[in-house]
A and B are shown apart, each in its own frame.
Chain A
Amino acid sequence: MNEMVSGAIVFNGERSRQGYRLNRMAMSLTSAENRTRFQTDEVAYMRDAGLHAGEQELVRRRDWKGMLEHGASIYLVIKIAGAVGHSLQQVGAHTAGMTLDEFHARKGH
């Protein structure tokens, strides 16, 4: 599970297995109709998608880092982020333990 490279997660079979429900829910958001349903009632949508309580809590808290650590793929995390109006940069900065402002300051833009 803990295969890492330079502080980054290597998305392997163990992670894919653990994160399967969360990843499947995120994948469903590639449908505009599903995005609307999710945005209308996140809790009901996640319950119907079979997410466990802890997984629902990660989404409710917008805990992008926690989702990755739970086995979500970064490519699927950003679909959940997109549906709730968070950008890739917000997600990335969060996974680095920074605010967006701190990230911009470090990158110099």
Chain B
Amino acid sequence: MGRIIGGIGSSHAPSIGTARDKGLQDDPLWAPLFDGYKPARAWLDQVRPDLFLIVYNDHMNRFFFDAYPTFALGVGDVHAQADEGWGKRALPDLPGHPDFAWHLARSLVEDEFDPTICQDMAVDHGVLSFLPLLTDTHWPVPVVPLAVNVIQHPLPTARRLFKLGAALRHAVETYPGDLRVVVMGTGGLSHQLHGGNFGRVNPEWDNRFMDLLETNPAELAALPHRDWMERGGTEGIEMILWLAMRGALAPEVRRLHRNYCAPLLTGYGLLALADQQVA
């Protein structure tokens, strides 16, 4: 049977990919971000998971408002890189895991989550900005991406995403093969991309969020969207995606690593948690 061995929450942003591609890992502005990923990567290199299950959001690159899915699951053999409007980065396509992904589709629908099932799901910076900081870019670990609408309201609630996490765990634990899975939730943290508060980040809220995610996620799950947007920005609502990662873990977790910095327009957070039910 499959097992979830841990979870990682991470920000995503085009700027992370750009900084990496420009080789700014040691730049004083960017080093606090890149250095922050090293312990999480060391843990992944040590535990060598068989699969990354990544709950993220697309940013009008794969999906458009002609038919906008609330949940969309990538079941293909590979996941291409989406062109976000300024050309593609020099990264190979991501390997998928169709066998697990179709199992996940069946299990989610049985558990009353009904994703749009995508055999052709190009992924954008929601996956590809931070992932090269956690693994080699020849992609030794297959990825199953699950996209969530956090752009066109009405959005799923924070509580819904927390429950989605439990459904992900159920799916992993009923998979017949031996599969060690790390679940990732990615988005945020606080950022406001338009309006009078353009560029505002809220480090106090971002850190409180990571505290609560670890120790009291039920409190976060109860927060209405308006509270998230007032604290973290209308685009910062992406933070609710971390609840799917947390919901997939046991109630008691062990923190492996945490990092935070906010050099520019976005609060960059990283939180790696080990599942306490894993020896």
Using CB atoms and an 8 Å cutoff, list the residues of chain A in contact with chain B.
3, 5-13, 16, 20, 23-24, 26-27, 29-32, 35, 68, 73-76, 78-79, 82-83, 88-89, 91-93, 95-98, 103, 106-107, 109
Whether A8 contacts B151 by the Cβ 8 Å rule is no
Whether B87 contacts A68 by the Cβ 8 Å rule is no
Complex interface: chain B residues within 8 A of A106 (CB): 199
With A8-B194, A11-B153, A107-B199 known, 16 other A-B pairs at CB within 8 A are: A5-B226, A10-B234, A12-B152, A23-B64, A23-B65, A24-B64, A30-B82, A30-B84, A31-B83, A68-B194, A79-B85, A83-B85, A92-B193, A96-B194, A96-B197, A96-B199
A93 contact from B152, B198, B230, B264, Cβ within 8 A: B198
Q: Give the Cβ gap from B96 to chain A, nearest Cβ, in Å.
A: 21
B198 contact from A10, A27, A32, A92, Cβ within 8 A: A92
Q: List 27 A-B contacts (CB under 8 A).
A: A3-B153, A6-B192, A6-B195, A6-B197, A6-B229, A6-B233, A8-B195, A9-B234, A10-B153, A13-B154, A20-B65, A23-B64, A27-B60, A30-B61, A32-B87, A74-B194, A74-B235, A79-B85, A83-B85, A89-B265, A92-B193, A92-B198, A96-B195, A96-B198, A96-B199, A98-B198, A106-B199
Chain B facing A: main interface SS: loop
Using CB atoms and an 8 Å cutoff, list the residues of chain B in contact with chain A.
14, 59-61, 64-66, 82-87, 151-154, 192-199, 226, 229-230, 233-235, 264-265
Whether A35 contacts B194 by the Cβ 8 Å rule is no
